[in-house]
Chains A and B, each alone.
Chain A
Amino acid sequence: MKETKYGLCSLGLYDYRGVEEHLSAMAAQGWRLEKAGNTLWKYRRAEPARLRYAVTYSDSASRFNPGPTEGQRSLEELCAAAGWEKAADWDQAQIYSTADPAAVPLETDEALRLEGIHRSMKKNFLPANAVLLVLVLFVARDFFLALFTGDLYGMVESNARLFAAAMSVSTVCFEAYILAGYFLWRRRSQRSVEDGGACVPVGRGYRRASLAMWILLALLTAAYLLAELAGGGGGAALYFVSYTALFLLLGFLVRQTTALMRKRKASKTANIAVTLAVDVVLAFALVGGLTYTALHYSWFTGGFGSQESYEYRGREWDVNPRQDLPLTLAELTGERYDHVCRRAYNSGSFFVAERSYSESALLQDGPKFCGLDYTVYEPRFSAIQESLLEDFLEDDPVDLPGIGTIFTSRYLPEDPAPWGAEAVYRHYYGETPSGGWLLVWPGRVVEFNPHGPLTEVQRAAAAARLGPEA
């Protein structure tokens, strides 16, 4: 039989009634609170009992303190004299229990209770939620920037961006609901107390919103992973799963650091400093290590789980080059290449499929490398295609620090007839063509970069392979 168990905490720090009722119900079922974490609460098995729980608040309490503060000890002394035993700390909330049904309640003055709760909220709950609000807005900054500039394609260009935006919007709504809920509860409680009543119950909205948020988080994560896997973004999915695992590991290690410093009786300042230092160093090390691994093994560029290679003339070449490229150098030039390296990877999102291809090749022992790369975009809606084209066709000045604009990167229209496309644009650096092309068909845009000039025949061959009817 399990002696301990964990439960998700969906109560607000100020919901003292909710905590009291929840813990009394758990005690009746034979579970006592052993440790109250931010998200998970740990319970130990005990004889089922009718216990009263009560919560009071001590704004001097902190998880970084080496032990109970003088204030907390005084409180414990007073509570013990009144028949209450300390059950756990939950940030500033001090949780007590008693089996004595006649014990004096911990709080007998509602105005003071409300004041104590607000002091504690200002110390923890309110700043933590405000910081979280800023963080989630930062994570989805690209989406919001695109939203404010009306860049539809920028909003939907990748699953990761859509996921970050969905998470951010849900969290912002949740945080706004939580913060507004607290201030509304405080205002209503103030009125009630001024009229001689008690603080008003928090209601089930907070708990429901917390649970809904967890469910939404799970659903969005599943949707993101499925979308990446379905679109061939196995590397991105692996990165996300690894990142999440490392994030959880980081949280665990940081909490262990705080606990270790606490055990060693380090001062609050020293504990905060060391915890913060460990947090920053580990975050850089873990995320840096993961990013290095992802880049080294080409998780995002088609290398994930891909070809065996060999080295020749200082470069890596494929033993068995992939055969799924819509257009290869050999098909474009009619040459036979002895050394080939091909890559293909998916990005994009549910709204716009985006598949990038690149190929480098060496003609026998010839002196120069040949190359080709192109990206095929397939927007699901014409509005997204228009927005994508707007992004491409916008002049992009190339600046050098101290010199200013040296030239403008831009696409200019060309005759689409040789390509059999609806529209064609040629890329220029200033007045000089760069060799890049933008080929447009209904529902398909191709950014095409052959590493050399093309004949009319080659253009037609490329268009035939890259167009929608290929």
Chain B
Amino acid sequence: MAREKFQTLTEPMFYVLLSLREECCGTDIMARVSALTRGRVSLGPGTLYNLLDSFQQSEMIRETGVSGRKRSYRITDKGRETLEAEYRRLLALTEDYKACVGEERPLP
């Protein structure tokens, strides 16, 4: 069954929202996500464009300025709540993992 939109976040969604805790434009977001994840997560421009559009429609981010072709965005309270909910979910997953497997034992 299809997952309800933004109930849980994919990695690109999570990092875009995380980057927008500070105001920045699309190209900055791509650079920040890459730096933040040390190149593990690459954000394609098409994906970012669609994400920014969806987040804006869902009022999770807002546009803060336009300079030429560059548009800047920032996370809203709703977006922040979604990001924190995802963080708590990930923490819960981590705690569950630790409870089952233990701190030290690596995954087989």
Contact = CB atoms under 8 A, between A and B. Distances in A.
The reply to whether chain A is a binding partner of chain B is yes
A71 B49 contact: yes
Contacts of B27: 77-78, 81
A115 interface: yes
Contacts of A113: 46-47, 50
Interface in B35-51: 42-51
B105 interface: no
A213 to B, nearest CB: 31
Contacts of A71: 49, 53
Given A76-B69, A77-B27, A78-B26, A112 B50 contact: yes
A56 interface: yes
Q: Which among B50, B52, B71 has the greatest number of chain A C-beta atoms within 10 A? A: B50
Contacts, number: 83
Contacts of B20: none
Interface in A68-91: 70-71, 73-79, 81-82, 84
A54 B54 CA distance: 21
Interface stretch (A99-107, A226-234, A367-375): A99-107
B2 interface: yes
Given A74-B26, A77-B27, A81-B27, A112 B51 contact: yes
Contacts of A21: none
A112 B45 contact: no
Nearest to A190: B2
A77 B70 contact: yes
B12 A109 contact: yes
Contacts of B45: 56, 75, 78-79, 81-82, 84, 104, 106
B24 interface: no
Given A78-B27, A78-B30, A108-B12, A56 B71 contact: no
Nearest to A59: B53
A356 interface: no
Contacts of B52: 74
Dominant secondary structure of chain B at its interface with chain A: helix
Contact of B46 (A77, A106, A190): A106
B48 A78 contact: yes
Give the interface SS of chain A, mostly helix, strand, loop or mixed: helix
Given A78-B30, A81-B30, A107-B47, A73 B42 contact: no
Q: Which of A70, A94, A109 has the most CB of B within 10 A?
A: A109
A173 B18 CA distance: 49
Interface string B3-37: 00000001010000000000000110010000000
Q: Which of A78, A109, A194 has the most CB of B within 10 A?
A: A78
Contacts of B42: 104-105, 108
A75 B44 CA distance: 11
B50 A115 contact: yes
Contacts of B53: 71
Nearest to B25: A77
Interface in A109-132: 109, 111-113, 115-116
A107 B46 contact: yes
Contacts of A111: 10
A104 B69 contact: no
- Which of A58, A74, A116 has the most chain B CB within a 10 Å cutoff? A74
Contacts of B48: 78
A142 B11 CA distance: 57
A58 B54 CA distance: 12
Given A57-B46, A112-B10, 15 more contacts: A56-B49, A71-B53, A75-B46, A76-B69, A78-B49, A81-B26, A81-B27, A104-B45, A106-B44, A108-B42, A109-B12, A109-B47, A112-B50, A112-B51, A116-B46
Interface of B: 2, 10, 12, 26-27, 30, 42-54, 69-71
9 closest cross-chain pairs (CB), A and B:
A56-B46, A78-B45, A106-B46, A108-B44, A81-B27, A77-B69, A79-B45, A75-B49, A109-B47
